[in-house]
Amino acid sequence: MSAREPFPEGLPANGCEPRPEGLSEPCPDELPADDCEPFPENVRELCAEASDGGARLDAWLSGRLSADGLTRSGVARLIERGAVAVNGAPAPKNLRLRGGERVLVALPAPEPPGAVPQDIPLDVVYEDSDVIVVNKPAGMVAHPAPGHPDKTLVNALLWHCGGTLSGINGALRPGIVHRIDRDTTGLIIAAKNDCAHRKLAAQLQDHTLSRTYRCLVAGSPREDAGTIDAPIGRSAKDRKKMAVRADGRPAVTHWEVVERLRGCADLQCRLETGRTHQIRVHTAYIGHPVLGDPVYGTPRPDLTGQCLHAVGLRFIHPRTGETIELSCPLPEEFIRAREKRKL
User: Beta 89-90 vs 84-86: how paired, if at all?
Assistant: antiparallel
Q: For residue 86, which of 40, 52, 110 has the smallest C-alpha distance?
A: 52
Q: 181 catalytic, yes or no?
A: yes
CA distance 26 to 6: 27
Candidate list 130, 181, 183, 194, residue with the active-site label: 181
Q: For residue 135, which of 186, 182, 184, 65 has the smallest C-alpha distance?
A: 186
User: Beta 124-127 vs 242-244: how paired, if at all?
Assistant: unpaired
Q: Residue 301: what residue type? A: P
Phi, psi (degrees; rounded to nearest 5) at 67: -70, -15
Report in angstroms the alpha-carbon separations of 19 from 16, 38, 40, 201: 9, 13, 9, 23
Q: For residue 132, which of 171, 169, 163 has the smallest C-alpha distance?
A: 163
Q: Can you list the positions of beta strands (E) in the chain?
A: 43-47, 84-86, 89-90, 102-106, 124-127, 131-136, 185-191, 210-218, 225-229, 232-234, 242-244, 252-261, 264-271, 308-316, 323-327
Which spans in 228-331 are helix H? 278-285
Q: Is the Cα dihedral 84, 89, 93, 95 positive or negative? A: negative
Other beta carbons within 10 Å of 157? 30
Q: What is the DSSP code (8-state) at residue 167?
A: -
CA distance 288 to 74: 36
Please give the positions annotated as active site. Answer: 181
